[in-house]
Amino acid sequence: TLTTLTTASPEQKPAYRITSPADSAILTPNTPSVIAWTTTQRTSVKLSIHLETTTNHTNLYTIATNITNSGSISWSPPARIPPGEEYIIVLDPTTSPDSNNTTTSPSTSNPTPEEEETYKSSPFTITAPKAPLNNSTSTATTNATTAEEPTYYPTANQAIARGTTTIVTWPVAPDQKSGHVSVYLTEGQAESTATNVSTVATHVANSGSLACVLPGNLTLAEDYRFAVVGAQGGEDVWYSAVFRVVDGDEEEKS
């Protein structure tokens, strides 16, 4: 009898590929960054993400557990992580990747290689925490009694390329940390006359940060801002600083 062997195509895309942080990227503690990945899997698949080094393949810090396969999350490395140049992000699917194999096999209690597979980023650097600045300025309105005002993203006049992943951060009232917010992209210099361009997310956790992809068909302009509804409770709206939407090559030059 002739036995047919099914082999994976050498051009078959991996189930997941981490695209950010990129090779040799530099992350700063307490500063929002993006963890992004491409995937061939359903959005309903669950994932866990943690931090390792190239020489220590153990979970040094749990970043997220049992999250949906959204393609990106925001993460601010905590200051307690020691500075180093060999950190990697590890993506661990808690749901097995889809298989294109149409044949069936007897069930087994032993995990398959696909079920055990994890996906790793290129090595990147986490620096030491920034030293406090005596005369820091902020583009967002915050409590004037604090010695150093935090920076919220996007910053004033920041250039962000359409079609790319970016971070939006906002202040969270102490009594609203368990609440939910909705985030919108608006256009217009004045908050009172800004128009809603796109709904970014609705009823998401009031965590103070969110990774999102700017629509690729946005008009190039210099008067965009994010509006966060519910960060301070109720229907109060917090607006980010005004930023620019540019083409990708212009972002690299700015």
Q: Rg of the Cα trace of the chain?
A: 21
Q: Mean per-residue pLDDT for 115-143? A: 70
SS3 75: strand
Q: Report the C-alpha gap between 68 and 66 in whole angstroms.
A: 7
Percent of the chain with pLDDT over 70: 77
**More confident: 3 or 194:** 194
Question: Is 248:164 a contact under the CB 8 Å cutoff?
Answer: yes
Residue ranges of domains in the chain, CATH in brackets? 16-99+112-126 (2.60.40.10), 159-253 (2.60.40)
Stated as kind and residue range, the H or E segment containing 67 is: strand 61-68
Q: Could you identify the residue written with the tokens 């709904």?
A: 199
Q: Which of 56, 26, 20, 9 is nearest to 166 (CA)?
A: 20
**More confident: 100 or 209:** 209
The overall longest dimension of the chain from CA atoms, in Å, is 82
**More confident: 221 or 133:** 221
Q: Mean per-residue pLDDT for 163-176? A: 85
Q: Report the C-alpha gap between 153 and 160 in whole angstroms.
A: 11
Q: How confident is the model at residue 8, as a pLDDT?
A: 45
Stated as kind and residue range, the H or E segment containing 228 is: strand 221-229
pLDDT in tens, 35-49: 889 999 988 888 899
Q: Could you identify the residue written with the tokens 């004033």?
A: 156
Instruction: Give the burial string for 153-169 (b: 16+ CB within 10 Å, else e).
Output: bbeeebbbbbeebbbbb
